[in-house]
Amino acid sequence: MYLRQTRFGFEKGHFDKVTSVASNLVGRMETTAGLHSISVVKMSETEGQILAFYSSREDMKRGEALYLSALSGALPFITLAPDAHEFEVAWMWERLDQ
Mean pLDDT along residues 18-25: 93
Query: pLDDT above 90 covers what percent of the chain?
Result: 79
Read off the pTM: 0.89
CB atoms within 10 A of CB 80: 12
Alpha-carbon dihedral of residues 82, 45, 13, 76, nearest 10 degrees?
-10
Distance CA 35, CA 44 (A): 26
Mean pLDDT along residues 11-34: 93
Fold of 2-88: Alpha-Beta Plaits (3.30.70)
Mean pLDDT along residues 18-47: 94
Contact 74, 14 (CB under 8 A): no
Domain parsing of the chain, residue ranges: 2-88
Q: What's the pLDDT band for 81 if we cut at 50, 70, 90?
A: confident
* Residue 8 one-letter amino acid: F
**In the prediction, which pLDDT does 71 show?**
85
Distance CA 90, CA 13 (A): 35
